[in-house]
Structure 1
Amino acid sequence: MSDRTDDVSAREDAPEVSAQCPACQLHALVPIALQLTEDGRWRQLEGDAASDDDTLLIDACPVCFGAWFDQGELDIIGDVAVDPELLATAMGDPAKRVCPRGHGPMLEHRLPGILRTPIDRCPACGGVWLDGGERRKLAASSTREGQETRGKRLAKRGVIWAAQLLTQLPVEVENPARGTPWVVYSLLVSLLSGFLLSVAGVLLYRHWAVIAGPFRADPSHFYTLITHQFFHANWLHLLGNGYFLYIFGDNVEHIFGRLRFLVLFFGAGIVGGGLHVLLAKATLTPVIGASGAIAGVMAAYLWSFPNARLFQVIPFTPIQVKIPAWAYLIVWVLFQALMGLFSTAVHYAWFSHLGGFLFGLLMTPLVLRGRKRRVAASVRVPAAPFRRA
C-alpha cells in the first residue's frame, strides 16, 4: 500500500484535472475533498475547508457518479482490498476510455471475485477510473451514502420506508442536484397558483381543460394543450405531480439548462395532450394536470441518469427495495401502456402520460449529444469520442 503522505503530496504537485467524464461524457469531472476523521471515517469537505493540507482529493462525475483516483488514492480510501501490484503488472485489455490526466487510452483490468465489470487504469500514470457501481463497491467511503454510519443509514431508510408505506412514491438514494433548479421551483409555484385559482372559483378548470370531443370537432381549442397543465383535480393530484416534478426535474434541469428544460416540459405536455385527443375513449371527460409534461421529464431522467438508484416499496407489501432508475421507469411505462389499452377508467389520461414520455425519449438524446460536445470543448482532456487529433 502506498504511503498516504507521499500520495497526497504527489497529488498537490500534479496539475488540476480538467477532463470530461470518460464514462457518461455529460459533465466535467468535479474535485471532491475528503478528510479522515478521528473515528476513522471519511467525510466530504465543503468550501474553504477543502484547501486543508491533510485532505485527499479525487475527481468525480456528478451525473454517473464515476470517479478518478490518482495513483495510490484508491489504496488509501479503498473499502475492498485490491492488490496494487496486480494492477501495476497485469496486462489489461485496451479500453475505449482515455486517462483524465491526458495520457491517452486506458487499459481494462478484471478483478475476479470482487467485481463483475473491469476497471480502467492508465498504464502511464497508474490512476484508476471507477464507474458509479464500481465506486460504491470498491470506494464507498468516497460517496456521501458510504460516509454515513450504519445507524444513520438504517434510521434514514426506516423513515423513508414508513413514508413509502403510506405514499408508495419512489425516493432517490443519492443524486443531489448541482445548483438551484429555479425553473422547477417556478413551475411548482405556477401549478400551485393554477390550482388555488380554480379552487377559489376565479378560473373554471373546464374552460382550460383538454376535452377530446370538442377538440376533434374544433381544433381552435389547441390552446388547452398548454393550459390544462396548470390545473389539477385535487390536492392529492397536485402533490403527486409536484413530487415527481421535483425529484426528477431538479437533476434534469441541470443537464438540460433552463430553456431546454422548459421546451421539454411544455413540449411533453402538448404532445401528451395531443395523443390523448387522438386516442381517448372518453371524449367528453375534461383532462387536466401536468402528468404528461412530467412524464417527459421522467423520460429525460431515464436517458440521463439510468443508474441512479431509487428506494421503492413493492405495491401491496411492506418490502422496500433499492432499484436503478431504468428499472423503475420501464415498469412505470409498461403499466401506463397496459392501463391505456385495457382500463375502462375515464378519469385517467394514460395516453397523455405515454405521449409525454415519448416526447422526452425523442428529445433527450438530441440535448445530450449537444451537451457532450459543449463539455468536451470546455475541458483540457475530452472523452475518447471527442479527442482532438
Structure 2
Amino acid sequence: MSDNHPQISAQCPACGLHALVVVRLRRGGDGNWVQTDRRRLFGRDVEGDTAQLEVQIDTCPVCFGAWFDPGELDVLAGKLEGVEQVLDADSTPSKRGCVHGHGPMSEHRLPGVISTPLDRCTACGGLWLDGHERRKLAQASTSEGQGTKTERWFKRGAIWAAQVLTHLPVEVDNPARGTPWVVYLLLATFLAVFIGQETGAIDTEYYAIVAGRLKHEGDYATLLTYMFMHGSWAHLLFNAYFLYTFGDNVEHLFGRVRFAIFFVLAGVLAGGLHVMLTHRTATPVVGASGAIAAVLAAYLWAFPRARLFQVILWVQLKIPAWTYLFVWAAFQLLMGFWGKGADAESVAWFAHLGGFLVGVAVTPLVLAMRRREVARHVRVPALT
C-alpha cells in the first residue's frame, strides 16, 4: 500500500503547528504494528521488521492527529475493519481543509465507536482523525501502542516503581523529535555552575536574587545569574528532570534561538515578580524553576492532548497534561499567598507563578508565528 502513497506537503489541518510527516508501519508475523527502517521517526530509531503488510500514514507530531488516505484506516483498525464504510451518511460542514488541497471537508459520525465526528474529504475520500480519535483506532503509530503486551506492561511497571520513589510525572506518548541542543546546553550549564558553587569557586549569595538588596542597591544583574544556580543536588535534579521532560518538545516547536530567548526572558521576569511580591527580602533565591514554569505553560498551550503518567496513592494514573499543569499552577498560587512554615517559606512560589504567567502570555504569540511559518513552507496551508 505504501508504494502508491501520495506525497503530501501540508500543514496540520487541526493545530497548524507542524507540517504533516510520514510514519511507515509494518505488521509483523505476531500481528503487531512497528515503525520500519532505521530512520529517526518522532525522535526514535526503530529496527526494520520482516513484514506481512505495510502502510504509511501522515501525522502531526504536535497534536498527534493523522491523515488516512482511502483504505489505510481499514488496514490499521484491526477488529474494526470496514470502519470507513460505516461512517454516518449524514454530514455537517467542517472548518478543516483536505491535506490534498480539495478545500473544506465534512464531518461524519462513527456510531458506537467514537463520540466526536471525523473529518472526511468528499473529493478524495481521505479521513482526518484528531489525536484522541487516532489513539482509539490506530495506537500502533504511537510509542505507547508498539511492542507486545508483555513489553508494554514491563515498561509500565518500571515507570511505576520509579514514580513511587520520586513522584515525578512521565510523558506517555510525546517523545522528542530531533536533538534539543538548547536544553542540553542549559542542563550542562546548570551542572557546571552547581559544581562551582559546591567547590566555592562561585559565591552563591553574591549572584543570587536578594529582594532587599536589589531594591536598594539596583543589583539587577542577579535577575539573570540567579536562574543558573541551585540550592542543592535535589533542587538541581528536579529542575533538570522537568526541563528535559517538557523542554525538548517546546524547543522543537519554538526553534532553538526563540526557545533560548524565551527561557531567559521568563527567568528574568519570574525573578522580578518575586522581588515585587515577596516579604522575605533578605533571603537569597536561586534556581531555574521560574523559567521552567514558563516552559510548562508553553507545553500546556502547545500539547493540550498530551498525557502523563502520575502516581497518586500508589496508583499509576494516566492523566491529560493540562490537568497536571493546572493543578501545579493552582498549588503555586495557594502556597505563594497562604503557605506557612519553614518549608513553604524556603520556596520562591512567586517566581514560579511569574514564569508560568510569562509562558501563558508569550506562547500564543509564538504559536501564531509558528503557524504562519509552517503555512509558508508547505504546498497546502491549513484553512484560517
The answer to whether the superposition gives a TM-score over 0.5 is: yes
Q: Does the CA contact (< 8 Å) of 1:79 and 1:137 recur in 2? A: no
* 3-state SS, counterpart of residue 118 of structure 1: strand
Q: Deviations over 1:270-294 (max 9, x none)?
A: 1110000000011111000000010
Q: CA deviation at 1:47?
A: 4.3
User: What is the aligned partner in structure 2 of residue 29 from structure 1?
Assistant: 20
Q: Does the CA contact (< 8 Å) of 2:9 and 2:20 recur in 1? A: yes
CA distance in structure 1 between the aligned counterparts of 2:280 and 2:4, rounded to whole angstroms: 69
- 2:76 pairs with 1:85: no
Matched AA of 1:164: Q
CA distance in structure 1 between the aligned counterparts of 2:335 and 2:5, rounded to whole angstroms: 57
Q: Does the CA contact (< 8 Å) of 2:210 and 2:283 recur in 1? A: yes
CA distance in structure 1 between the aligned counterparts of 2:334 and 2:53, rounded to whole angstroms: 57
User: What is the aligned partner in structure 2 of residue 3 from structure 1?
Assistant: none
Q: Deviations over 1:45-77 (max 9, x none)?
A: 134769x99521110011111110100110111
What is the Cα-based RMSD across aligned positions, in Å?
1.6
Q: Does the CA contact (< 8 Å) of 1:108 and 1:118 recur in 2? A: yes
Q: Deviation above 2 Å: which 4+ runs of structure 1?
A: 11-15, 46-50, 52-55, 82-87, 141-144
* 3-state SS, counterpart of residue 64 of structure 2: coil
- 2:120 pairs with 1:121: yes
Q: Does the CA contact (< 8 Å) of 2:26 and 2:52 recur in 1? A: no
Choose which of 277, 301, 304 in structure 2 pairs with 1:303: 301
Q: Does the CA contact (< 8 Å) of 1:22 and 1:383 recur in 2? A: yes
Q: Deviations over 1:154-199 (max 9, x none)?
A: 1111111111111000000111111100000000000001100010
Within-5 A mapping of 1:103-114: 103-114=102-113
Matched AA of 1:21: C
* 3-state SS, counterpart of residue 265 of structure 1: helix
User: What is the aligned partner in structure 2 of residue 215 from structure 1?
Assistant: 214
- 2:347 pairs with 1:348: yes
User: What is the aligned partner in structure 2 of residue 4 from structure 1?
Assistant: none
Q: CA deviation at 1:80?
A: 5.3
* 3-state SS, counterpart of residue 67 of structure 2: strand
User: What is the aligned partner in structure 2 of residue 323 from structure 1?
Assistant: 319
Matched AA of 1:122: C
Q: Identity, % of aligned pairs?
A: 57
Q: CA deviation at 1:14?
A: 5.4
CA distance in structure 2 between the aligned counterparts of 1:231 and 1:84, rounded to whole angstroms: 56
User: What is the aligned partner in structure 2 of residue 188 from structure 1?
Assistant: 187
Q: Does the CA contact (< 8 Å) of 1:285 and 1:346 recur in 2? A: no
* 3-state SS, counterpart of residue 222 of structure 1: coil
Unaligned runs of 5+ in 2: 40-47
* 3-state SS, counterpart of residue 373 of structure 1: helix
CA distance in structure 2 between the aligned counterparts of 1:18 and 1:86, rounded to whole angstroms: 29
Within-5 A mapping of 1:173-322: 173-219=172-218, 221-314=219-312, 317-322=313-318
CA distance in structure 2 between the aligned counterparts of 1:253 and 1:173, rounded to whole angstroms: 18
Q: Does the CA contact (< 8 Å) of 2:73 and 2:83 recur in 1? A: no
Q: CA deviation at 1:353?
A: 0.2
Q: Matched residue pairs, number?
A: 371
Matched AA of 2:317: V
CA distance in structure 2 between the aligned counterparts of 1:24 and 1:323, rounded to whole angstroms: 21
Residues 106 and 54 of structure 1, relative CA distance in 2, 3 Å threshold: same
Q: Does the CA contact (< 8 Å) of 1:119 and 1:129 recur in 2? A: yes
CA distance in structure 1 between the aligned counterparts of 2:79 and 2:217, rounded to whole angstroms: 66
User: What is the aligned partner in structure 1 of residue 44 from structure 2?
Assistant: none
Q: CA deviation at 1:251?
A: 0.4
Q: Deviations over 1:327-367 (max 9, x none)?
A: 11000000000000101332100000000111111111111
* 3-state SS, counterpart of residue 220 of structure 2: helix
CA distance in structure 1 between the aligned counterparts of 2:83 and 2:190, rounded to whole angstroms: 55
CA distance in structure 1 between the aligned counterparts of 2:8 and 2:226, rounded to whole angstroms: 47
Q: Deviations over 1:188-235 (max 9, x none)?
A: 00000110001000111000000111111122x110001001111110
Q: Does the CA contact (< 8 Å) of 1:271 and 1:355 recur in 2? A: yes
Within-5 A mapping of 1:338-377: 338-344=334-340, 345-377=344-376
User: What is the aligned partner in structure 2 of residue 15 from structure 1?
Assistant: 6
User: What is the aligned partner in structure 2 of residue 336 from structure 1?
Assistant: 332
Unaligned runs of 5+ in 1: 1-7
* 3-state SS, counterpart of residue 232 of structure 1: coil
Q: Which has the higher strand share?
A: 2
Q: CA deviation at 1:115?
A: 1.1
Q: CA deviation at 1:26?
A: 0.4
Matched AA of 1:62: P
